[in-house]
Amino acid sequence: MADFKVGYFVGSLAKGSINRKLSQALVRLAPPELQMQEIRFGDLPLYSYDYDAAYPPVAMDFKAAIADVDAVLFVTPEYNRSIPGGLKNAIDWASRPWGQNSFTRKPSAIIGTSPGAIGTAVGQQHLKSILGFCNSPMMNAVEAYIQFKPDLISDEGEVSVEGTEEFLRSYMHEFRDFIRRVLTVYPRSS
């Protein structure tokens, strides 16, 4: 049985997303102590505080999915030197209403891939700022900005470059160790 349940978000809503391929590789390479499950957010309406008094069922289910995991992993592209709007909208839903932030004390990590040479470095910096405000302890090292090349990762998560596969495996082991450290300080609620 897994030690930790990890919910992961794929920042791109595109069916053929290279970050979805990356997420599949991470699931495949994760150590057995991590039970990985995707938390989808594509059906959420645009957030407005008008919903705070009565969240719609889709948003309640979304918040419950986050509550059900021990940690979160963001696998996201960079759009216009930031994060995709859909992902920001999901974070807004999860962190509201005031006092009911789903990310408080929940360990998190960020990774992403892009065809560009700097991967998703700038977008990840924006996401770190947002998650910092959400009081989510973040794994700040190892940083992971993956430059995507054609056929680097198959739809099933098979990585064609041995060095990249080893790096991703190591990243997931580091994330497991980070989760363990954080939850030693901030134990899960019973």
pLDDT digits 0-9 by tens, 15-24: 999 999 999 9
What is the pLDDT averaged over residues 67-89? 96
Q: What pLDDT sits at residue 111? A: 97
| pLDDT tier at 189, thresholds 50, 70, 90 | low
Q: Tell me what the mean pLDDT of segment 27-35 comes to.
A: 98
Confidence of residue 187 (pLDDT cuts 50, 70, 90): confident
Query: What does the pLDDT average to over 16-35?
Result: 97
Question: How far is the C-alpha of 128 from the C-alpha of 62, rounded, in Å?
Answer: 21
Residue 102 has pLDDT above 60, yes or no: yes
Is residue 144 within 8 Å of 8, Cβ to Cβ? no
Instruction: Considering only residues 18 and 142, tell me which one the structure prediction assigns the higher pLDDT.
Output: 18
Residue 2 pLDDT grade (very low, low, confident, very high; cuts 50, 70, 90) = low
| pLDDT higher than 90, residue 83 | yes
Question: For residue 124, which amino acid is it?
Answer: Q
CA distance 37 to 8: 6
Q: What is the pTM of this model?
A: 0.95
Order across the sheet with 145-147: list the strands.
34-38, 4-10, 71-75, 108-114, 145-147
pLDDT attached to residue 54: 94
- CA dist., res. 137 & res. 112, Å (int): 18
